[in-house]
Amino acid sequence: MNVNLTIKNYRCFPDSEPARLPVRKGFTGFIGTNNSGKSSLLKFFYEFRHIFQILSGPDGGFIHALNGRRHGFSYPVSVTDPNEVFSKKNARDLLIELEFPVDAPVNTRGIPFISKLEILVYRGTNNWSAKILGPGQEVNNKANDFQGSEIRDTDGVHRVDVSPLFTACESLKRTLYIGAYRNILNVGGSESYFDIQVGQAFITQWRTYLTGQIRSQNEATYQVMESIKHIFDFQDFQVNQSADNTTLQLFVNGKSYRLQELGSGIAQFVLVLANAAVSQPNLILIDEPELNLHPSLQLDFLTSLASYAKDGMMFGTHNIGLARSSATQIFSLVRIEDGVSRLISYEKTPRLSEFLGELSYSGYKSLGFDKVLLVEGPTDVPTVQQFLRKFSLDHKVVLLPLGGGSLINEASKVQLEEIRRISDKIYALIDSELPSASDILSDDRKGFRQVCQQLGIDCHILKKRAIENYLTDRAVKVIVGPQYRGLTDFEKLQPSVHGWSKSDNWKISREMTREEVSATEVAELFRKLDA
């Protein structure tokens, strides 16, 4: 999934302050105050899902829209008046722009790939039209039909290959939107909350998930219970429907509880993970994932939930530390005035001591987290977390990304000294970046190791090139596909060749076994962390 999205005149994003967002695989975080537009941005993908569905394949409605004629789509039931999705700062139509970065300008047949699509949604209606933009792509008003992913004009000439559009919209149509209210109880039996079932409807559905005839749902529900058991460090955890169908009956370590006795945190895990496990979306959109959860559980919740999404997750949060520890893309939303918000890239502050504060490190310590492990960058946090989980260390070690090369050098001494004052149990795990076994470390990485030695920080530099070189061939084939393979020791990851990007590393590491991790020298560091 690789598309640049621009939204104009949607809710709090008028054309004077359009929202421009690169949609990528992995974790994308939105931070901001209440009423700053986080929920609106996530809700956009939910409210215009039907348009993305039409654009995900050779639908006749797409050809109709390209010829300048209005074509209809359906809003979800939560939109009771079409006017509510339009900006109230002007009377203009809503414009959605999709741009497609591609490696080559033409396909193997010499037909140009689509570079940009404009979607015009007419104010106060559920009608839209579309226009393809780009050199050599003059197909509007004379689009006739599809041959595969290529659009032919009325003269039978193949004008443009829209496969990048189909690929992007295939992901955008298969989303799961989870709002901020996530309570199983006290909701009517027939109600859904956006994309998830809640209340008695969910309680009834849980029994179907667990004991129904669809084996994949049975197994997905079992895995949800296994995940919750690990996250909360239970010896045993089972969830059943109560006899009166009003709540869930839970067994925790052999003791029986009603759901309301255990608190909203566990209820949220059950509700959200079960819905995600059964729907298996491409992209999960969740508002305030930190709700009702201690800081030490929030990253676990995010990665457990994202494991059910093919392409990744977008989330809106008030917790800057959570965003910085998990997201490869972070954006701030700022309320400019009533009805107008601004979306901007969040400039990550490099100060590690501030970061530990944002993560509420004191709260972690109170629950037994007594060590800090510095890792290369944001994509390494969930990857290493999965490794730690196999050694039952994920609830003992706080992970802190260094931001790649920006802090892996001798100049990081001042910041490392600051976090040494917060904790005296600091470790580091960084890539070697070596292109071969005969090469030597760069001066920056040597300097970082030397500073760590001076400060008493145990620094482990990988013997192989990077963390992805430790992902086994078996796990790669399971997650990415049997046609792909694991990397050799010093091979550089190339998504176009190897079939995955760094944002997928954590899913592959999740698939690996403890024995596979133990066979590497990284296990030496984990033994130190367990001491």
Instruction: Report yes or no on 319 lying in a domain.
Output: no
The confidence band for 187, taking pLDDT boundaries of 50, 70 and 90, is very low
pLDDT at 197 over 90: no
Q: What average pLDDT does range 503-518 have in this prediction?
A: 94
DSSP string, 336-400: EETTEEEEEE------HHHHHHHTTHHHHHHTT--EEEEESSTTHHHHHHHHHHHTT-TTTEEEE
How far CA 12 is from CA of 35, 38, 88, 178, 499, in Å, comes to 10, 10, 8, 20, 37
Same domain for 146 and 22? yes
Q: What is the mean pLDDT of residues 450-459?
A: 94
DSSP symbol at 465:
S
238 has pLDDT over 70: yes
Q: For the residues 329-333, what does the mean pLDDT come to?
A: 90
In a domain, 297, yes or no: no
**Same domain for 499 and 436:** yes
Mean pLDDT value across residues 333-359: 74
Q: What is the pLDDT of residue 265?
A: 76
Asked if residue 314 belongs to a domain, the reply is no
pLDDT number for residue 298: 86
Q: What are phi and psi of 515, to 5 degrees?
A: -65, -40
> Do residues 165 and 254 both lie within one domain?
no
- pLDDT at position 355 is 58
Question: Of 529, 531, 320, 297, whose CA–CA distance to 428 is shortest?
Answer: 529
What does the block give as tokens for 386?
Answer: 């999965």
What mean pLDDT do residues 371-399 have?
Answer: 89
Domain residues for the domain of 231 are 180-280
Please tell me whether residues 511 and 429 are part of one structural domain.
yes
- Tell me, what CATH number does 404's domain have? 3.40.50
What's the burial of 446, exposed, middle or buried (CB within 10 Å: 0-12/13-18/19+)?
middle
Compute the half-sphere exposure of residue 305: CA atoms within 13 Å on the CB side of its CA.
28
Query: Is 489 part of any domain?
Result: yes
Residues 127 and 243 in one domain: no
Model confidence at 68, pLDDT cuts 50, 70, 90, reads confident
Residue 304 in domain: no
Q: How confident is the model at residue 251 (pLDDT cuts 50, 70, 90)?
A: very high
Lowest mean pLDDT among 2-16, 156-170, 334-348: 334-348
124-138, 273-287, 414-428: which is most confident: 273-287
116 pLDDT higher than 60: yes
Query: Between residues 482 and 186, which one has the greater pLDDT?
Result: 482
Quickly tell me which residue has 């193949």 as its tokens: 158
| Domains: count for the chain | 3
- Region 416-440 average pLDDT: 90
Which tokens in the block code for residue 278?
Answer: 């059964």
Give the residue-averaged pLDDT of 87-92.
96
Q: What is the pLDDT of residue 352?
A: 66
Among 174, 199, 233, residue at a domain's last position:
174
DSSP conformation class of 457:
-
**Could you read off the pLDDT of 456-499 as tens digits, one per residue?**
999 999 999 999 999 999 999 999 999 999 999 999 999 889 99
Residue 362: inside a domain, yes or no?
A: yes
- Pair (475, 375) in one structural domain: yes
Kindly tell me if the per-residue pLDDT of 515 is higher than 90: yes
Same domain, 508 and 380: yes
167 and 252: one domain?
no
Q: Which one of 127, 156, 174 terminates a domain? A: 174
Q: Are residues 151 and 207 in the same domain?
A: no
| Whether residue 240 is found in the same domain as residue 161 | no
Please, which pLDDT band fits residue 186 given cuts at 50, 70 and 90?
Answer: low
Look at the chain and count its residues.
531
Mean pLDDT across 287-315: 88
417 and 516 inside one domain: yes
420/480 same-domain check: yes
**457 vs 103, residue with greater confidence:** 457
Question: pLDDT band at residue 137, thresholds of 50, 70 and 90?
Answer: low
Which among 276, 246, 243 is positioned nearest to 260, based on CA atoms?
A: 246
Mean pLDDT of the region 330-347: 88
In the prediction, which pLDDT does 433 show? 95
| pTM > 0.85: yes or no | no
349 falls in which pLDDT band (50, 70, 90)? very low
